[in-house]
Amino acid sequence: MGETKLASAPRQNDLPTVSIIVLNWNGKHDTVECLESLSHISYPNYEVIVVDNGSTDGSVEQFKARYPEITVIENQDNLGFAEGNNVGIRAALQEDTEYVLLLNNDTIVDPWFLDELTNVAELDPLVGFAGPKIYYYNTDGRGRKGRINSAGAKLSMWTGRVWHVGENEIDRGQYDKVRLVDYVIGACLLVKTRVVTEIGLLDSRFFTYWEDVDWCYRGCNAGYASVYVPQAKIWHKYGASSGATPNSYYVTRNRFWFMRKNALKRQYFTFLLRFFLYEFGLQCRDFLRQRDFDSMKTSFKAVFDGLAQRGIA
């Protein structure tokens, strides 16, 4: 690979230290491409921690052989996105790092992305989370030509809906201003470690999906803002880390969990009314038309487990 800066670097010019956590699960090719892009970033004060979630594709052996200077943590099982990242966060906190950056292994970063994120985060002590402009990468022929995956994220506590601002739009500069957002997407999320110390780690009970929304929401309740930084740019192979489509069970179940955990009673009641009077009926109609009884069964199980709060205290 030639020269690399993936190892811990001494503090320079009073720039804050950042621990970059890359979670891998049987995705060594994507992870290597992500690590290669990190080796070219301009920011000097960072380390990379690769957390392997029980891979069986020889990932750990390849990482250790190719990148002996980085920290590789091996989990014996797939702990999910939340707890897998928590393993890396705990390791970072032991080193007195000032920031933790969660970065999907299926991303490629701009050389200046970390400079831009930390610059904005350092402007205000109440900025707890910061995230970049995310483009699609090499998906369906869209390549790196400026089609937006996310220019910040929004949350409705009345409908239990989340969405990406600017999704699928061509970037023409329409989202080029730093602004507050409802939450930062876990694909690339910078958080101050003092915020983590105050509000706690990702909620591992979610396993995957909605844990980033929950984390930022808890931060907001503690007085910390989430900020979108358009000058920071990454490219995302959307779906590569979790499969071609999101796991519908966790998406639905965790949506109920999040709302039950965080919404006001009247918000939760409004969410339930809208879901059962509108969304769920349309879902079932589509499943019946397609004779997709397996998906219908999964949907019913997700809703039941979400309502019953199975697996969450």
Q: CA 152, CA 175: separation in Å to the nearest integer?
A: 9
What would the pLDDT profile of 150-201 be if each residue is shown by its tens digit?
999 999 999 999 999 999 999 999 999 999 999 999 999 999 999 999 999 9
What would the pLDDT profile of 248-261 be if each residue is shown by its tens digit?
899 999 999 999 99
Q: CA 60, CA 69: separation in Å to the nearest integer?
A: 14
Q: Tell me the pLDDT band of 311, cut-offs 50, 70 and 90.
A: low
Looking at residue 93, what is its pLDDT? 96
Tokens of 302: 């997700």
DSSP 162: E
Helices (H) and strands (E) in the chain, counts: 10, 12
Instruction: Delimit the domains of the chain by residue range.
Output: 18-236, 248-308
Looking at residue 309, what is its pLDDT? 79
Taking the model in full, what pTM does it have?
0.90
pLDDT tops 50 at residue 8? no
Side-chain-side CA neighbours of 41 within 13 Å: the count stands at 29
Looking at residue 248, what is its pLDDT? 86
Residues 6+ apart with CB under 8 A from 20: 38, 46, 47, 48, 49, 101, 103, 114
* Chain-centre distance for alpha carbon 83: 12
pLDDT tops 70 at residue 280? yes
pLDDT tops 50 at residue 141? no
Q: What is the mean pLDDT of the chain?
A: 90
Q: Tell me the pLDDT band of 2, cut-offs 50, 70 and 90.
A: very low
DSSP 275: I
What is the pLDDT averaged over residues 189-216? 97
CATH tag for 18-236 (out of 3.40.718.10, 3.90.550.60, 3.40.630.40, 1.10.3720.10): 3.90.550.60
Q: Is 273 exposed, middle or buried (0-12, 13-18, 19+ CB in 10 A)?
A: exposed
What is the pLDDT averaged over residues 299-305? 89
DSSP 6-19: -S-----TTPPPEE
DSSP 272-307: HHHIIIIIHHHHHHHHHHHT-HHHHHHHHHHHHHHH
What is the pLDDT averaged over residues 97-118? 97
